[in-house]
């Protein structure tokens, strides 16, 4: 087992645990992590995921030893790295809690999540050119969307690392916290998300993602239809009546 999974108060925490390999991402990690996400994504009692690393490392990259001797034919036949795209199909929100290095595949996995919390000592980078390849898990695309063309070109073509202060300023990271507060901050946010109506949370996430996929006219129209649709839920009635009655809502996910 290369991941540890915990479920508490609506939040599933997935910890990458390959300390001897600096949490390098191989196919086994991919299968375990994506299987756990798919399994818990279907459960109505799960309101948020937190993905993190162990030993002050998120993931120092993909496992180079697994792919170094592969041929082009083997890479193409297996569509190597394609399995990671399952992370992007998860409907429940995912917070990446980055405690240290998130390089190469580690940075790409963090960017697949919906938001990134990082420690003050965290470092991000796409150094694939230093070993004769390019990002292969979506790094060139997601990094460009998050930080813009100029910053992405700088990061990818030089292979330099970006500290958490720069990452927050560039829009890659949403929160930077002291090292010892990372999981407390991530879990507080995750529990807050999990306390809300899951149908509304799932649609809110979809609306934000649609802003990148569609024209403004189409995405606004889609948002409005989803808003209308939530009036078919019990949670909408509970939430609005609780507001009128000045009490805390009791959402059930229905």
Task: State the catalytic residues.
Answer: 62, 105, 108, 128
Let me know: does 126 contact 159? Beta carbons within 8 Å: yes
Task: Calculate helix-pair angle for 139-147, 105-112, nearest 10 degrees.
Answer: 60
Pairwise CA distance, residues 153 & 37, whole Å: 31
Q: Name residues whose C-beta falls within 8 Å of residue 152's C-beta, 6 or more positions apart in sequence.
A: 140, 143, 144
Pairwise CA distance, residues 55 & 18, whole Å: 9
Q: For tokens 């306390």, what's the residue?
A: 195
Which has the closest alpha carbon to 104: 74, 66, 134, 141? 134
Let me know: does 85 contact 34? Beta carbons within 8 Å: no
Q: Name residues whose C-beta falls within 8 Å of residue 67's C-beta, 6 or more positions apart in sequence.
A: 75, 80
């Amino acid at each position: 087992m290369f991941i540890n999974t915990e479920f508490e108060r609506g939040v599933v925490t997935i910890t990458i645990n390959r300390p001897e390999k600096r949490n390098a991402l191989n196919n086994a990690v991919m299968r375990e992590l994506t299987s756990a996400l798919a399994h818990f994504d279907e459960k109505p009692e799960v309101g948020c995921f937190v993905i993190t690393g162990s030993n002050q490392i998120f993931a120092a990259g993909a496992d180079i030893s697994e792919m170094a001797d592969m041929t082009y034919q083997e890479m193409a036949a297996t569509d190597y790295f394609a399995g990671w795209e399952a992370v992007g199909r998860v409907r429940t929100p995912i917070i990446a809690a980055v405690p240290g290095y998130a390089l190469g595949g580690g940075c790409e996995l963090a960017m697949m999540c919906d938001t990134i919390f990082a420690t003050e000592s965290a470092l991000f980078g796409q150094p694939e050119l230093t070993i004769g390849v390019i990002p292969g898990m979506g790094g060139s695309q997601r990094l460009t969307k998050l930080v813009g063309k100029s910053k992405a070109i700088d990061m990818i073509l030089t292979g330099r690392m970006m500290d958490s202060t720069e990452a927050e300023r560039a829009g890659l990271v949403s929160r930077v916290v002291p090292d010892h507060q990372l999981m407390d901050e991530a879990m507080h946010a995750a529990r807050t998300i999990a306390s809300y109506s899951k149908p509304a949370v799932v649609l809110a996430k979809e609306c934000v993602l649609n802003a990148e996929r569609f024209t403004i006219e189409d995405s606004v129209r889609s948002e409005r239809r989803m808003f209308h649709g939530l009036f078919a839920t019990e949670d909408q009635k509970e939430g609005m009546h609780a507001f009128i009655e000045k009490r805390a809502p009791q959402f059930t996910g229905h």
